[in-house]
A = this chain, B = another copy of it.
């Protein structure tokens, strides 16, 4: 495609590409944009090195003119996007890329890979932290997803309100708080549970969390308190009927005087299981598989579409595929989140070729697209740090109507409205 466009000359036409999702995963009320910070790094360092060029040449993938273009490739265009951590809805213009065709089209895969993956994780994680309320969620799913996806997943979950991760590399690379845990293997390694608990307390102090369900939970809890004392930091339950068991363990801990010992539960938790544990005396949730796989929706299904391009006279014109089953709207988009008098979102307003007008009511509408890259230079890094994105997620959640936070299947919590008639 690139080779043909370079040859026809059309590759130099100025173009606008947009990232959007035609729909949210079935029944979801909102999505969460994540990955933007990682994407800015990826765009900035997007290059073809000598080994890659040599490989393309030796396999005859593209011609010499295209190899020349790739060798000198530096993204030189402009990018705007929803700030990382913000909510999005169907057709929200999550990213807008303006560049010539060749420079813009080549970024499609890396842009979509990062946004589709990270947003899928953040969108699922956000529902979990919403269901958990003030109780912390710990991301511990690295072993159930690709080894690099795991690092990105820990980052996305943290942006969406998770308290910490078991992925140490996410701590190093992205500053996500990390926590350790002991597995059943640690208990089984020792001659008996007491020896294992003693070894853990000796090494980490009484404030550690002991895994008490390797053999018999009641005996495990008793042994744990005997070994660590009533100052034991926590116990972890990883199997069984957690609602019933958490209450039994709480009662037992209290009766032993370990009233401040915390109970962490794990074992295939998702947002529904977390919600079902709301009334149980649980102090924290360890979430694995379901958060790193997007809780049933491992991709955000975002697409990257050409929506406008230069014509022969140098004018930008909207373009759109005529599809019966895949609705798209041509032309460059602008977006505003309409907020009512209480600061609650009531509509996602999308304008074609112009920013929708603030209606002057309520607390003022919020413009959603922020500058990220200008003439190839990243300008939006501060708005997409992990810390900024995490704060924005919290603020964005507070702005959504209550219906957004229902776990039951429903329609998007905020309706998307195109305020400009398309040509």
Which residues does A use to contact B, with CB under 8 Å?
Answer: 1, 3-8, 10, 13, 15, 17, 42, 51-52, 55-56, 59, 61, 63, 101, 105, 108-110, 112-114, 116-117, 142-150, 152, 168, 171-172, 178, 180-186, 188-191, 195, 198-200, 202-204, 213-216, 239-240, 289, 292-294, 298-299, 301, 304-306, 309, 311-312, 319-326
Could you name 28 residue pairs across A and B whose Cβ atoms are closer than 8 Å? A1-B180, A1-B181, A1-B182, A4-B204, A5-B199, A8-B202, A8-B203, A10-B189, A10-B199, A15-B185, A15-B189, A55-B172, A59-B171, A59-B178, A101-B189, A113-B144, A113-B145, A116-B144, A145-B149, A184-B306, A185-B306, A188-B321, A213-B323, A214-B322, A239-B323, A239-B324, A239-B325, A239-B326
A272 to chain B, nearest CB (A): 17
Looking at the assembled complex, report how far the CB atom of A195 sits from the nearest CB atom of chain B, in whole angstroms: 8
Shortest CB-to-CB span from A125 to chain B, Å, is 15
When distances are taken between beta carbons in the complex, the residues of chain B under 8 Å from A171 are 55, 59, 61
Looking at A42, A148, A185, A294, the one whose CB has the most chain B CB atoms below 10 A away is A185
Known pairs A112-B143, A143-B304; list 13 more (Cβ under 8 Å): A4-B202, A4-B204, A5-B186, A7-B203, A61-B171, A61-B180, A63-B203, A113-B142, A113-B145, A113-B147, A184-B306, A216-B322, A298-B298
The answer to whether A203 and B3 have CB atoms under 8 Å apart is: yes
Query: In chain B, what residue has the closest Cβ to A326?
Result: B239
Residue of B nearest to A330 (CB): B188
**Are A5 and B189 interface neighbours, CB within 8 A?**
yes
How far, in Å, is A313 (CB) from chain B's closest CB?
Answer: 11
* Contact status B204-A309, CB under 8 Å: no
B108/A143 in contact, CB under 8 A = yes
Count identical subunits in the complex: 2
Q: Are B306 and A188 in touch, CB under 8 angstroms?
A: yes
Quick check: B299 and A289 within 8 Å, CB to CB? yes
| The one of B4, B143, B180, B240 that contacts A186, using a Cβ cutoff of 8 Å | B4
The 8 Å CB contact of A204, one of B3, B146, B190, is B3
A165 to chain B, nearest CB (A): 12
| Residue among B13, B172, B186 making CB contact with A1, cutoff 8 Å | B186
Contact present for A189 and B116 (CB under 8 Å): no
* CB-based contact A214/B143 at 8 Å: no
- Chain B residues near A7: list those with CB within 8 A: 199, 202-203
Q: For A195, list chain B residues within 8 Å (CB).
A: 8
Pick the residue among B3, B51, B191 that contacts A312 (CB under 8 A). Answer: B191
**List of B residues within 8 angstroms of A185 by Cβ:** 1, 15, 17, 101, 105, 305-306
Q: Given the known A-B contacts A188-B321, A189-B5, A239-B324, are A146 and B113 also in contact in the complex, defined by CB atoms under 8 Å?
A: yes
